[in-house]
Amino acid sequence: MVDLVAATADHAEAFLGWRSETEMMRFNPLRAMSIEGAREHLGSCSCDLSDLQEGVTYRWIILSEGVVAGSVALKEVNLMMRVAEVSYGVAGSMQGRGIATQAVRMLLDRVFEQTALRRVIAYVHEHNAASCRVLEKLGFEREGLLREHYLIRGEPVNEWVFGILAREWVRRG
């Protein structure tokens, strides 16, 4: 069973643990973060989708059978365009169990029920097949390849952009 709980500063150690794993660093443009930086970041996140704001990261910790497994977030909110980005990460020891798929599904249910967002996007490293499968299982469309979109450890990498519309999510219901 997967559950989403509000991210708090108390989750900083676990957050840093999976965030610094080799596979996570391989596929994501993550900046180095101290334990204090992680506490500050998680403490600044919100879970209140009823007060959606630009410049705020909405982050939840993913629990699987009561164990911290990763996090899922809604970020880069654009209220005028009614679009936001979803991101997620699961600890290596917890991958391959459908946890990310369940967590993103739960987040999208909340987003499309509680907000006026009309579209959610995700960026995925072109070689991260597992993350692409998560989104495709949920009905996201692979909309295009952004060439040299991110720098990871100073190297330009291509990213797939995926998107799903609120009306598509409701139809999947």
- Give the strand order in the sheet containing 67-78: 2-6, 58-64, 67-78, 83-90, 119-125, 155-165, 141-152
Using 50, 70 and 90 to split pLDDT, how confident is the model at 173? low
pTM of the full structure: 0.94
Give, in words, the CATH class of 2-172: alpha beta
Q: What is the mean pLDDT of the chain?
A: 95
The answer to whether the beta carbons of residues 61 and 103 sit under 8 Å apart is: no
Q: Which two tokens stand for residue 106?
A: 């739960």
- Helix residue spans in the chain (DSSP H): 12-19, 22-27, 35-44, 99-114, 129-137, 166-172
Q: Tell me, what's the pLDDT at 164?
A: 99
Give domain limits for the chain: 2-172
Model confidence over 87-146: pLDDT tens digits?
A: 999 999 999 999 999 999 999 999 999 999 999 999 999 999 999 999 999 999 999 999
Model confidence over 3-38: pLDDT tens digits?
A: 999 999 999 999 998 888 888 888 888 888 899 999
Q: Tell me, what's the pLDDT at 25?
A: 81
Residue 169 half-sphere exposure toward CB, CA atoms < 13 A: 21
Residues comprising the chain, all counted: 173
Angle in degrees, CA 13, 110, 135, rounded to 5? 75
